[in-house]
Structure 1
Amino acid sequence: MKNICLIGASGFVGSRLIELIKDDCQLSNFDKRESVFYPEITVSGDVRHQEELDRALAGQDSVVLLAAEHRDDVSPTSLYYDVNVQGTRNVLAAMDKNGVRNIIFTSSVAVYGLNKENPAEDHPADPFNHYGKSKWQAEEVLRAWHQARPEERSLTIIRPTVIFGERNRGNVYNLLRQIASHKFLMVGKGENYKSMAYVGNIVAFIRHHLNNQQPGYQVFNYIDKPDLSMNGLVAQVEKSLNTQVPSVRIPYCLGMLGGLSFDVLSKLSGKKFPVSAVRVKKFCATTQFDATRAHSCGFQAPYTLAEGLNRTLQYEFADGHKDDIVFVSE
């Protein structure tokens, strides 16, 4: 059995990945947080600390690097680069010290920036925030590492769109909760498309590439198709929960004004609010990406997007048999 080290797998995606592959290989999880579900395989450590990584990667065959600073409100902003970029350099240094030649890295479609027209993997990078910029810089570090010994090293970069699913507490959950509770206000016309990825599919995609590693370089966008418009997403919630959502809409300019007002209030009060100018901008942006390469590489997604949404909606808003363990993300 392969020895695989997951780095940063105590969170939402990592927990589901461990659940999926724990019987396929010898697993360890290197994370600064203890795993709620898998503490027995978790080693406490930080990607900013080289010696801890050096010890953790001894005897490993492959690495899946999930660790990242990813929230919109990380402070100071230097943390994005300390963790996402320098942390990647540290992981690669530890791999080289231990003779580990295979890595899967979860990047993000944030490297493309906002309002791009269905970018594929070869689209120019144009990140608009520190998260996207740091992920792109980390990718560049990884590509340089691979190119130094391409005949021996395996590098797979996966750029998921926003990931949702059961137990997640991020922007998609907040949106679904607002729609399900009839407290939803549509900003704009609702015709902008939102690419999404169900967690059950993204972890299956990672497993697919763990099982098919060989020397070389691959990069994939991961999105569950077909994309939904905001109006289509509302319709899916209505169908899954058998409910009717009020069709209240406000113009984009008013939505941005409200977001800026909350930004000012946040600075004055020191409190964080669920509404901000960045979040309004992201809500109204078209986030549609080409995923042809991911869905033509031999991978078969176990769930459709509609099935993933329905499973999430049923678990979060209809099923009374759930615990209070959740994962906070964007």
Structure 2
Amino acid sequence: MNYFIFGGSGFIGTHLVNLLKEKYPDGNIYNLDIRENNHDGKSKYINCDVKQPINLNIVVDQNDIIFNFAAVHTTPGHPNHEYFETNIYGAENVTAFAEKFGIKKILFTSSIAPYGASEEMKSEETLPTPNTPYGISKLVAEKIHMIWQAKKDTERQLTIVRPGVVFGKGENGNFTRLYWGIKKHRFFYPGRKDTIKASIYVKELVNFMLYRIEMDRSDVEIYNCTYEPAFTIEEISDAMMKATDMKRTIYKIPGGVLKFAAGIIGALGGKSFGIHPDRVKKLMISTNISGKKLKESDYQFQYSFEEALKDWYNDNDNLYLE
């Protein structure tokens, strides 16, 4: 069987390749990305820009499986048009590839960004109201995948996952910045400690992906992928310090003061501090995402939140988190 991972060179793709190779050592794993990564020989890299029609010189079977991770996602970080070009054209071209070869299963990694920024809890039934180019592009991409499934809804399976903050080895994102901010005494609670930040361990996420894609189902399912209940920034910080044997006192500073300081540091070229006014603003708004549907499904979690942090620390030889 072939496993096609569009956008497989990145953080989540790397962990999925590791899991697939472990479970199916004889499977053909293809990483289709604009950035080369053959995952130490575990996958076969093919240069592929999803903004363009996808043509592969490979024998493709209808029982092959597609994981679509390809996206422009870092926010802030890109001009608005790049989110739309990659995320929407990518959805169109990946589903066209599946249509051409009669592939019946796609797992699409979306985001919690389509929900929009607000303090209210969001479930899979919440009406999406995205307020960023990234969130809008991801919602449109979801609908494109749904149209593909609806064309032959008794034959095709579509799984859409909306992960919270995904953390683990190789993340180089929010949790990594939080860890080093705490360790270097550069992190402060921006005006509040109770900001809710929904999150999921990367190994848990890819385990669920494989669990879901292996089902013999013809349907569409959307899952918020996050621990339930979601944790506050204070709970995350405390758990992170405990898992890494770190003792720090984290002070609370008015959000406006922190945003002003971030603006000054950014203007002076202090990117190494990992401080950006938009990131400070994001820290002050909850991502209050319900993981109840996932928790109440038949899927059995492999890691508690605390176990996940410990496992991540162990993956870095118990030296740091990154």
Distance 2:85 2:285 in 1: 28
1:27 aligns with 2:37: no
Question: How far off is 1:318 after superposition?
Answer: 3.4
Question: How far off is 1:198 after superposition?
Answer: 0.5
Distance 1:38 1:217 in 2: 34
Distance 1:70 1:175, change over 3 A: same
Question: How far off is 1:96 after superposition?
Answer: 1.0
Residue identity opposite 2:81 in structure 1: S
Equivalence for 2:103:
100
Distance 1:234 1:214 in 2: 39
Encode CA deviations 1:32-60: one digit per residue, 9 max, x unaligned: 111152455121211112143x5468335
Equivalence for 2:237:
234
Distance 2:91 2:216 in 1: 20
Contact 2:34 2:47 (8 Å CA) reproduced: yes
Equivalence for 2:171:
168
Equivalence for 2:282:
282
Distance 1:48 1:247 in 2: 44
Equivalence for 1:254:
257
- Structure-2-length-normalised TM-score: 0.90
Give the 3-state SS of the residue equivalent to 1:225 in structure 2: coil
Equivalence for 2:4:
5
Point out the more displaced range, 18-27 or 78-87.
18-27
Contact 1:57 1:98 (8 Å CA) reproduced: no
Contact 2:159 2:213 (8 Å CA) reproduced: no
Q: 1 or 2 for the larger relative contact order (CA 8 Å, sep ≥6)?
A: 1
Give the 3-state SS of the residue equivalent to 1:203 in structure 2: helix
Distance 1:99 1:59 in 2: 8
Contact 1:179 1:237 (8 Å CA) reproduced: no
Q: Any stretches of 5+ residues in structure 1 without a counterpart?
A: none
Residue identity opposite 1:295 in structure 2: K
Distance 1:114 1:259 in 2: 21
Question: How far off is 1:218 after superposition?
Answer: 0.7
Question: How far off is 1:226 after superposition?
Answer: 3.5
Give the 3-state SS of the residue equivalent to 2:74 in structure 1: coil
Point out the more displaced range, 279-288 or 145-154.
145-154
Distance 2:134 2:73 in 1: 6
Equivalence for 2:70:
67
Residue identity opposite 1:113 in structure 2: G
Contact 1:166 1:311 (8 Å CA) reproduced: no
Contact 1:167 1:316 (8 Å CA) reproduced: no
Give the 3-state SS of the residue equivalent to 1:219 in structure 2: strand
1:2-151 equivalence runs, <5 A: 2-22=1-21, 23-24=23-24, 25-35=27-37, 37-39=39-41, 40-52=43-55, 54-55=56-57, 58-59=60-61, 61-151=64-154
1:300 aligns with 2:300: yes
Question: How far off is 1:256 after superposition?
Answer: 2.5
Distance 1:245 1:123, change over 3 A: same
- Structure-1-length-normalised TM-score: 0.88
Contact 2:105 2:213 (8 Å CA) reproduced: no
1:204-219 equivalence runs, <5 A: 204-219=207-222
Give the 3-state SS of the residue equivalent to 1:6 in structure 2: strand
Question: How far off is 1:14 after superposition?
Answer: 0.7
Number of residues of Structure 1 aligned to a counterpart in Structure 2: 317
Equivalence for 1:318:
318
Distance 2:70 2:33 in 1: 8
Contact 2:119 2:286 (8 Å CA) reproduced: yes
RMSD: 2.4
Distance 1:173 1:315 in 2: 14
Distance 1:75 1:210, change over 3 A: same
Question: How far off is 1:312 after superposition?
Answer: 2.4
Encode CA deviations 1:216-251: one digit per residue, 9 max, x unaligned: 111100002332212212221232233321232210
Distance 1:256 1:222 in 2: 30
Question: How far off is 1:299 after superposition?
Answer: 0.7
